[in-house]
Chain A
């Protein structure tokens, strides 16, 4: 089973861009799974952000679609999240995860806290 680890800045200024990377170990990013991002607000609500296949096929949460960009870096065996024009409402713990299908999230990274503040 693949292991996932998020990394990136823990503090982002309002109106800036949040960027996180999820390193995949113990397996290939080219495996046919949906590489996924989920966030958890300080109030503990979970929100699906989007997912990407290694082929580049992407699905986004409609409520975030205009600000989100997902990508895969096969050379680094990793995938990334960019969220633009952030506000305090984007402060959350961001998890990367993967799904082998059937709308389940099989395994999750440990999560990365990102705070939006000046």
Chain B
């Protein structure tokens, strides 16, 4: 199973919005509403910020939002803050043999 495709990098100034795409196939992203997003600061563990395409766990700011269209999911970070600078990974259910397929990761830089 191939990894989901994300842009290597994205950036924005404080207060701006940035959107990250996550492209898969009809066997993963397009086939299930089980897309999650994780934030990983340098040297730290990933942290769940979005599940089931657009659900935020308790404690995650509403600046983070998710969506999906066809085989592509997206994460939008609104009102960028310095602490949002991190790597972001998507994941999707990929069927019984691939419960978790991860994206290639996107480094978000706050200018």
- Residue positions of A touching B, CB distance < 8 A: 38, 44-48, 51, 59, 61-62, 95, 102-111
Q: Closest residue to B103 on the A side, CB-wise? A: A46
Q: A45 with B48: in contact, given A103-B34, A105-B38 (CB under 8 Å)?
A: no
Give 13 A-B pairs besides A62-B98, A102-B34, A103-B93 with Cβ atoms closer than 8 angstroms. Answer: A44-B87, A44-B105, A45-B3, A45-B104, A48-B101, A48-B102, A51-B99, A102-B51, A105-B36, A105-B100, A108-B45, A110-B44, A111-B45
Interface assignment of B46: CB less than 8 Å from any CB of chain A:
yes
| B3 lies within 8 A of A105 (CB) | no
| A104 lies within 8 A of B46 (CB) | no
Q: A46 with B46: in contact, given A103-B36, A106-B57 (CB under 8 Å)?
A: yes
Assembled-state Cα–Cα distance A38/B101 (Å): 11
Which residues of chain B have C-beta atoms less than 8 A from A104's C-beta?
A: 34, 36, 48, 51-52
Which residues of chain B have C-beta atoms less than 8 A from A48's C-beta?
A: 98-102
| A103 lies within 8 A of B45 (CB) | no
Which residues of chain B have C-beta atoms less than 8 A from A106's C-beta?
A: 48, 57
- Looking at B52, B57, B100, the one whose CB has the most chain A CB atoms below 10 A away is B100
**Residues 46 to 70 of chain B near chain A (Cβ within 8 Å):** 46-48, 51-52, 57
**Residues 19 to 49 of chain B near chain A (Cβ within 8 Å):** 32, 34, 36, 38, 44-48
Assembled-state Cα–Cα distance A59/B93 (Å): 14
- Residue positions of B touching A, CB distance < 8 A: 3, 32, 34, 36, 38, 44-48, 51-52, 57, 87, 89, 91-93, 97-102, 104-105
Which residues of chain A have C-beta atoms less than 8 A from B52's C-beta?
A: 102, 104
Assembled-state Cα–Cα distance A105/B91 (Å): 10
Sample 20 A-B pairs with CB under 8 A, ordered by A number: A38-B100, A45-B105, A46-B46, A48-B98, A48-B99, A48-B100, A51-B99, A61-B98, A95-B46, A103-B34, A103-B93, A103-B99, A104-B36, A105-B36, A105-B38, A105-B91, A105-B100, A106-B48, A110-B45, A111-B45
